[in-house]
């Protein structure tokens, strides 16, 4: 069993990272001034200067990685999260070094910083990935296991036990289930035997050698939970509390620290912190070139709409976006100017007689949505996200469709997971909400790229667009 070596392993990774960072810096120096044959018009800077800078850079990098929780126990976390944290750390350090160089008359060669960023990223990700894979291989072979007791016999405890049993890479060995109700002793939960009750917890921990005790009790069993915490207060086992959120729809739930008080974040937007910056940069990187490259087409479409029927080429309509805030969304006009008498919102339908000749084709090819690239550039919308609705429809839907407003925890999008799955126009609202919430819960930049690719492949030839 290797659990007792967690701290030495973390310390070893800390030292290894320091060596890799320092080595990456010196390798970048050698490649720039000797290995790659790049001319140095100002001469080769002294090695001693870069050694001292490398020492400071290494220390700063390690402190940055530590602040990003890279060296915490990551048994149950995804390897992708650790890779992202490592890359974030390298980017932060390179940016700070570049800023420092700027204010010190450019003592550092920018090419060295770029080379260092690439080499350090590759070295750190390879080292951490290799260690992770080695540990998971050991766990699959029954080594490096953590012995666990689960307190609870309900749905929460059942799901937890199944996760531990199914995910061999996590390396958990369930020694037994502990029940709040004595009548459950002798039974089974997810194939694991119930071996005792809450009052017996200290003796069960000692007898089984459990290192971790997971409290997975229902909220109605709060008295048993309190008793379990009391009895484990002087136990050698570490205690983990699994909150019962079965009656609340959890959206990217996590735990926050409020001045020393743990707070469970039940519904939270995934687009926060680094994710928000990354998604915003992604939107700008696509929307700005898109507007520039498509400007001739946009001009042609605007002229066509204007000549096809009386009225403006562009149509601005109030929609509801992130956090319920309203904004003006732009589209090419596809309906007659008098399509909504007294400005009363009317839902579009197949073969809608209000459509213009140009509008029918624009809507079928989704070309009427192209002006929303401007909304993306302004920050009102994102390239990918739930489609925004008009305030009148939002007020109607929120009262009849459960969890409807949760879709406003992220920016509205030009395209979305529901749309690429054919849920456009006059289709099931319940299913659309289901797909929107799935997108929010499983958001990643890779998911956004997948949706954009599917948009090109599916939406422009989608028969549900009208």
Q: Quick one: tokens of 383?
A: 């390239």
Is 259 inside a domain boundary? no
Q: In terms of C-beta density within 10 A (0-12 exposed, 13-18 middle, 19 or more buried), how is residue 277 classed? A: exposed
Instruction: Please indicate, yes or no, whether residues 336 and 200 belong to a single structural domain of this protein.
Output: no
Alpha helices in 254-321 (DSSP H): 274-308
Q: Return d(Cα 318, Cα 332) in angstroms, integer.
A: 14
The H or E element that residue 458 is part of is: helix 445-458
Picking from 336, 332, 337, 326, the residue whose alpha carbon sits closest to that of residue 390 is 326
Is 56 inside a domain boundary? yes
Is 264 inside a domain boundary? no
Instruction: Please indicate, yes or no, whether residues 293 and 428 belong to a single structural domain of this protein.
Output: yes
Is 252 inside a domain boundary? no
Is 262 inside a domain boundary? no
From 140, 159, 187, give the residue that closes a domain. Answer: 140
Is 33 inside a domain boundary? yes
Instruction: Please indicate, yes or no, whether residues 305 and 345 belong to a single structural domain of this protein.
Output: yes
The H or E element that residue 149 is part of is: strand 146-151
Q: In terms of C-beta density within 10 A (0-12 exposed, 13-18 middle, 19 or more buried), how is residue 268 classed? A: middle
Instruction: Please indicate, yes or no, whether residues 190 and 333 belong to a single structural domain of this protein.
Output: no
Q: What is the pLDDT of residue 3?
A: 47
From 140, 160, 194, give the residue that closes a domain. Answer: 140
CATH number at residue 237: 3.40.50.720
How does pLDDT run across 207-216, given as a tens digit for each residue?
998 888 999 9
Instruction: Please indicate, yes or no, whether residues 112 and 38 belong to a single structural domain of this protein.
Output: yes
Domain span at residue 228?
Answer: 146-247
Instruction: Please indicate, yes or no, whether residues 307 and 445 belong to a single structural domain of this protein.
Output: yes
How does pLDDT run across 377-388, given as a tens digit for each residue?
999 999 999 999
Instruction: Please indicate, yes or no, whether residues 184 and 75 belong to a single structural domain of this protein.
Output: no
Catalogue the E-assigned strands of 78-155. 146-151
Number of domains into which the chain is organized: 3
The H or E element that residue 378 is part of is: helix 372-378
Q: What are phi and psi of 311, to 5 degrees?
A: 125, 175
Q: Which residues contact 398 (CB under 8 A, 6 or more apart)?
A: 404, 405
Per-residue pLDDT of the chain (466 residues; tens, 9 = 90+): 444 556 677 788 899 999 999 999 999 999 988 888 788 777 788 888 889 989 999 999 999 998 888 877 666 667 777 888 899 999 999 988 888 777 666 667 888 999 999 999 999 999 998 988 887 777 777 677 888 999 999 888 998 999 888 877 778 889 999 999 899 988 989 889 999 999 999 899 989 988 889 999 988 888 999 999 988 887 778 888 888 766 555 666 666 655 566 666 666 666 666 778 888 989 999 999 999 999 999 999 999 998 888 888 898 889 999 888 999 999 998 887 766 665 566 656 666 667 788 888 888 888 889 999 999 999 999 999 999 998 888 888 887 887 788 888 889 999 999 988 887 766 677 888 889 988 988 888 889 999 999 988 875 555 555 5
Is 254 inside a domain boundary? no
Is 379 inside a domain boundary? yes
Instruction: Please indicate, yes or no, whether residues 227 and 124 belong to a single structural domain of this protein.
Output: no
Any idea which residue has 């007020």 for tokens?
A: 395
From 247, 263, 285, give the residue that closes a domain. Answer: 247
Instruction: Please indicate, yes or no, whether residues 347 and 383 belong to a single structural domain of this protein.
Output: yes
Q: Return d(Cα 117, Cα 458) in angstroms, integer.
A: 38
Instruction: Please indicate, yes or no, whether residues 239 and 309 belong to a single structural domain of this protein.
Output: no
Picking from 209, 178, 41, 10, the residue whose alpha carbon sits closest to that of residue 109 is 41
Any idea which residue has 């213009």 for tokens?
A: 356
């Amino acid at each position: 069993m290797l659990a007792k070596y967690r701290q030495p392993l973390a310390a070893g990774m800390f030292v290894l990272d320091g060596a890799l960072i320092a080595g990456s810096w010196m390798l970048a120096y050698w490649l720039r001034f000797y290995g790659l044959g790049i001319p140095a018009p100002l001469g080769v800077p002294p090695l001693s200067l870069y050694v001292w800078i490398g020492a400071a850079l290494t220390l700063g990098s390690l402190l940055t990685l530590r602040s990003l929780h890279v060296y915490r126990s990551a048994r149950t976390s995804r390897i992708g999260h650790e890779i992202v944290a490592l890359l974030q750390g390298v980017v932060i350090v390179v940016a700070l070094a570049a800023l420092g160089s700027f204010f010190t008359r450019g003592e550092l060669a920018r090419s060295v910083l770029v080379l260092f960023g690439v080499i350090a990223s590759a070295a750190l990700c390879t080292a951490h990935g290799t260690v992770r894979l080695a540990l998971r291989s050991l766990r699959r072979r029954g080594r490096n296991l953590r012995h666990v007791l689960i307190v609870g016999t309900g749905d929460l405890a059942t799901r937890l036990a199944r996760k531990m049993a199914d995910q061999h890479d996590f390396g958990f060995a369930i020694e037994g289930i502990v029940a709040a109700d004595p009548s459950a002793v002798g039974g089974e939960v997810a194939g694991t035997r119930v071996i005792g009750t809450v009052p017996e917890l200290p003796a069960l921990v000692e007898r089984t050698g459990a290192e971790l005790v997971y409290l997975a009790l229902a909220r109605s069993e709060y008295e048993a939970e309190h008793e379990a915490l009391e009895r484990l207060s002087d136990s050698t086992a570490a205690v983990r509390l699994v909150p019962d959120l079965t009656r609340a729809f959890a959206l990217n739930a996590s735990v926050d620290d409020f001045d020393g008080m743990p707070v469970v974040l039940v519904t939270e937007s995934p687009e926060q912190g680094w994710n928000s910056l990354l998604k915003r940069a992604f939107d700008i990187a696509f929307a700005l070139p898109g507007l520039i490259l498509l400007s001739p087409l946009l001009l042609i479409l605007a002229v066509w709409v204007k000549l096809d029927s009386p009225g403006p080429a562009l149509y601005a309509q109030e929609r509801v976006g992130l956090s319920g805030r309203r904004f003006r969304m732009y589209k090419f006009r596809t309906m007659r100017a008098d399509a909504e008498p007294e400005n009363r919102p009317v839902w579009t339908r197949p073969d809608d007689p209000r459509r213009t000749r140009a509008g029918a084709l624009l809507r079928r090819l989704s070309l009427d949505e192209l002006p929303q690239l401007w909304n993306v550039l302004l920050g009102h919308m994102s390239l990918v996200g739930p489609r925004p609705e008009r305030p009148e429809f939002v007020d109607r839907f929120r009262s009849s469709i459960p969890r409807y407003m949760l879709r406003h925890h992220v920016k509205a999008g030009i395209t979305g997971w529901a749309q690429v799955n054919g849920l456009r126009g006059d289709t099931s609202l319940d299913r659309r909400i289901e797909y929107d919430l799935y997108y929010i819960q499983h958001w990643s930049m890779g998911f956004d790229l997948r949706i954009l690719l599917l948009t090109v492949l599916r939406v422009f030839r989608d028969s549900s667009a009208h």
